[in-house]
Chains A and B, each alone.
Chain A
Amino acid sequence: MEIKQTALAGTLESSDIQIMLSKGTDGIKITLDSAVEKQFGDQIRDLITKTLQALDITAANVKAVDKGALDCVIKARTIAAAQRALGTTDQPAWEVF
């Protein structure tokens, strides 16, 4: 799936993650700023990558600012940002949940 526009989901509140998705050419590139980088940084990057792949996104630039979000939140924000970027918010990708 091709990214049509840069899109944002999530806030900078504690226990949330803000994900900005824009067009990329060289695979899924993630810039992560996280309060729990040391303990969960790799897991967060992995989860964002897998969630995007499940939506058939193979190239994207991701800017993520994490304030200690749980996995379910990270996944939800990633899907929201992705569907906004793809322009498919009117067709929820239920199977990704």
Chain B
Amino acid sequence: MILKNNVNRTLSDDLMAKLDYKPYTSTEIGNPEIQRVAPKVHVSTGNDKVVDSIEDVVKATVKDGMTISFHHHFRNGDYVFNKVMRVIIDAGIKNLTLAPSSLTGVMNDMVIEAIKAGTITNITSSGMRGSLGDFVSHGGLKNPVIFRSHGNRARAIEHGDIKIDVAFLGVPNADKLGNANGMAGKAVFGSLGYALMDAQYADNVVLLTDNLVDYPNTPASIKQTQVDYVVQVDEVGDPDKIGSGATRFTKDPKELKIAGMVNDVITHSPYFKDGFSFQTGSGGAALAVTRYLREAMIANKITASFALGGITKPTTDLLKEGLVRRVMDVQDFDKGAADSMQSNPNQQEIDASWYADPDNKGAMVDQLDVAILSALEIDTKFNVNVMTGSDGVIRGAVGGHQDAATSKLTIISAPLVRGRIATIVPDVTTVVTPGDSIDVVVTEVGIAINPKRKDLIACLSNIPGVPVFTIEDLQKLAEKKVGTPKPLEFTDRTVAMVEYRDGSIIDEIKEVKD
């Protein structure tokens, strides 16, 4: 039997049955009743939490077969992951499931070592890149990796699909009972959004900090009621590698042209009115959009009710100016945004569930008007790939892509081609976000509107300087430029499964043949 889902992807029925998965059917979540799980609580008065050695904590908490987690807020400045994993590998612990909010490049070598040692046998993550993506795509891990969006990870934790036994959470400050935040100290990253899920749901919560402060520490994002251990280490992260430094405004004429058209699409849509909300990414074009949007908001005397998601300094500048009334902040991409969270009370830290969990009593993404997202590939069905590169190798992350794409106006901004690789293709290598949730694709030559959005076709078809194409026309234009590529070759073996945000399977990633 060949099992296909609603984005026409063939799924391995044996794996689907073994892992008890349902194929993806729809972007609609409906109104189901959900039973959430609760963590085990090791009762304590809290006076014995501080320990000096990671070894002692690992010995006390981690056993063969457990699920351990980390957050990725330190990004490429992370020291915590490698410190803890070193101890776990050396302790000879086996068969762990690694369930971090995501994996950054600085963790790659350690993860590969842990897989080779049998320490890690399962992984669930938002994404992976570089040597680890290459390793997994070449069949380095026996069990398939499960990729989940940030909102879906929150859902999976609340459902018990991810049952975290021990969470190792690095923080730039904590007191002796575990009250902590991401805003003060040496290696600051701002919002602790993703880690708050682990702190709330893990059976054992271990904080690691290089900055033990006086009790009680406020504001407390992670609270003493959640924490089992506080480990003092020399350094938790490298502040210079946590975020890109000063955000540079792009001078690339192609990116600026795309950004200008994205801005035109937004301002000509019915959503551009006082009190609208938006989410932008951190790429060059997305940052340029923020600047154009600022001018349009001033000219039209419009303010936004909130900006959402991964936050950058250009967005917190809008907050300071009063053009955005609230910033709902699950993660900060640069130091400016992290600093602003500490000084501006209108920049609210939100956890991943509040941000984007589909099985919620209302998540922020459900209220979102406009999302500007990027893509590695978009196909003629508007499906988007942000996970596998043009060679079929894993080199990306779901991030909040599927979650933010549920907004009322979801715009994908991408160049028509990158070098000799077409961005708009007949079929994406991996479907991550279904075309049903994508409304407009913006390239440097013009835009394509999802034919399902007849209302948008009506209001976006006659914008001066914004030519409208069908998505098929854009695909043909791209192919004419770069030629027809030879199809990629894969083996039959599944190396990763991509969940949709509701926990169904939207696609599988196969081992590359070379």
Q: Which residues of A contact B (CB under 8 A)?
A: 14-15, 35-36, 38-43, 67-71
Contacts of B418 in A (CB 8 A): 68
Contacts of A69 in B (CB 8 A): 420
Q: Does B91 contact A (CB under 8 A)?
A: no
Q: Which residues of B contact A (CB under 8 A)?
A: 390-392, 418-421, 481-483, 485-486, 488-489, 514
Contact A14:B419 (CB < 8 A) given known A38-B391, A70-B481: yes
Contact A40:B420 (CB < 8 A) given known A70-B481, A70-B482, A71-B483: yes
- Our pick among A14, A39, A41, A70 for the contact of B488 (Cβ within 8 Å) is A39
Decide: A68 and B419 in contact? CB cutoff 8 A.
yes
Residue of B nearest to A72 (CB): B481
Decide: A36 and B390 in contact? CB cutoff 8 A.
yes
- Our pick among A15, A38, A41, A71 for the contact of B419 (Cβ within 8 Å) is A15
Decide: A70 and B514 in contact? CB cutoff 8 A.
no
Q: For the complex, give the distance between the alpha carbons of A71 and B419 in Å.
A: 11
Q: Can you report 7 residue pairs joining A to B where beta carbons are below 8 Å apart?
A: A15-B420, A38-B489, A39-B486, A43-B486, A68-B418, A70-B481, A71-B483
Contacts of A43 in B (CB 8 A): 483, 486
Q: Which of B483, B488, B489 has the most CB of A within 10 A?
A: B483
B contact face: mostly helix, strand, loop, or mixed: loop
Residue of B nearest to A37 (CB): B391
Decide: B420 and A70 in contact? CB cutoff 8 A.
yes
The smallest C-beta distance from B305 to any residue of chain A, in angstroms, reads 41
The smallest C-beta distance from B189 to any residue of chain A, in angstroms, reads 32
Contacts of B486 in A (CB 8 A): 38-43
- Our pick among A36, A41, A42, A71 for the contact of B421 (Cβ within 8 Å) is A36
Contacts of A14 in B (CB 8 A): 419
The smallest C-beta distance from A95 to any residue of chain B, in angstroms, reads 23
Q: For the complex, give the distance between the alpha carbons of A43 and B486 in Å.
A: 9
Q: For the complex, give the distance between the alpha carbons of A4 and B355 in Å.
A: 67
Contacts of A39 in B (CB 8 A): 390-391, 420-421, 485-486, 488
The smallest C-beta distance from B137 to any residue of chain A, in angstroms, reads 12
Q: For the complex, give the distance between the alpha carbons of A69 and B488 in Å.
A: 19
The smallest C-beta distance from A22 to any residue of chain B, in angstroms, reads 26
The smallest C-beta distance from A37 to any residue of chain B, in angstroms, reads 8
Contact A67:B419 (CB < 8 A) given known A36-B390, A38-B514, A39-B390: yes
Residue of B nearest to A38 (CB): B391
Contacts of B419 in A (CB 8 A): 14-15, 35-36, 67-68
Q: For the complex, give the distance between the alpha carbons of A16 and B483 in Å.
A: 16
Q: For the complex, give the distance between the alpha carbons of A27 and B514 in Å.
A: 27
Decide: B488 and A38 in contact? CB cutoff 8 A.
yes
Residue of B nearest to A74 (CB): B420
Q: Which of B390, B419, B482, B485 has the most CB of A within 10 A?
A: B419
Contacts of A38 in B (CB 8 A): 390-392, 486, 488-489, 514
Nearest 9 pairs of A and B residues by beta carbon: A68-B419, A39-B485, A68-B420, A36-B420, A38-B391, A15-B419, A39-B486, A14-B419, A40-B485
